[in-house]
Amino acid sequence: MSAPENNVNLTPIDQIKPNPSNPREHSTEQIAQIARSIEEFGFTSLILVDETGMILAGEGKWLAAKQRKMTHVPTRVISGLTETKKLLYVIADNQLGLNSTWDQELLNKAIEKLEKEAADLDLTGLSLQEIDRALADLVPEQDWIGEDEIPSASPTVITLPGDLWTLGKHRVLCDDATSMEAVEKVLDGGLADMVFCDPPYSAAYSGKTSRKLTIVNDDLGAGFYDFLLKACTNILAVTKGAVYICMSSSGCTRSTVRSPTQEATGPRF
């Protein structure tokens, strides 16, 4: 391998060719980022080529230079490599940089400093989401409540069965899904485009804490079938599209849900 220090050329861009064996891909967005970097900082690193002008490293820079309609780019010829070593180098040049990691704390502070100086953070190559996440990590968390402290429940019951809450274009009703009157009330006379529901599993759930909390209506016994039948009949009567019903695999079988839904809609279900 030979690469003398003075082996630097200003090469016509049309005399350089991409490596057909290079597995690295460059998106349009990335090429535009590299082009902006060249515009802002100049051509800070050379494109490495073999004796024939085929790129060994720097294909992204070459593509960005073409996008900027540059006629010449700085190159260095690396000679004496076998085809095997060329392929090894192409992969290593792309991968070795990816094997490093960020010191996230230092990166966050650097981004904060640049942001305060109104620098163009797009030039970092970081995505908007990464920049926002870094800045958000620097904001001290508000200590609203102790981590293990459970706030006391309000002695006043705010929402009662039959109460309808209007939240902009959304409507939330505290009521009984087996009541068609309640269903029509929450839909305000319209139809639902789709239903995603999570009815009681009839699994007699008991909490694992010392309080062993239970869920109301979670053990309907023989009444579970009639409950699902009424609920499904109402759902299907007011839904134009798909209906998704979530059930516990341990609390019921496929037929537990299938039978009442079939009766509600017919054998086509």
Per residue in 38-72, pLDDT (tens digit) is 999 999 989 999 999 999 999 999 999 999 999 99
Model confidence over 179-217: pLDDT tens digits?
Answer: 999 999 999 989 999 999 888 777 777 777 767 777 777
Percent of the chain with pLDDT over 90: 43
Does the pLDDT value for residue 6 go beyond 70? no
Which one is predicted more confidently, 215 or 171?
171
Q: Per-residue pLDDT for 108 more than 50?
A: yes
Check residue 126 and give its pLDDT: 87
Phi, then psi, of 145 in degrees rounded to 5: -160, 150
Average pLDDT score, the chain: 84
Which is more confident, 268 or 46?
A: 46
Q: Is residue 254 over pLDDT 80?
A: no
What's the whole-model pTM score? 0.49
- The lowest-confidence range among 29-43, 78-92, 112-126, 239-253 is 239-253
Q: In this structure, how many other beta carbons lie within 10 angstroms of the beta carbon of residue 83?
A: 9
- Domain 8-99, what architecture? Alpha-Beta Complex (3.90)
pLDDT attached to residue 222: 79
Domain boundaries, the chain: 8-99, 104-137, 164-265
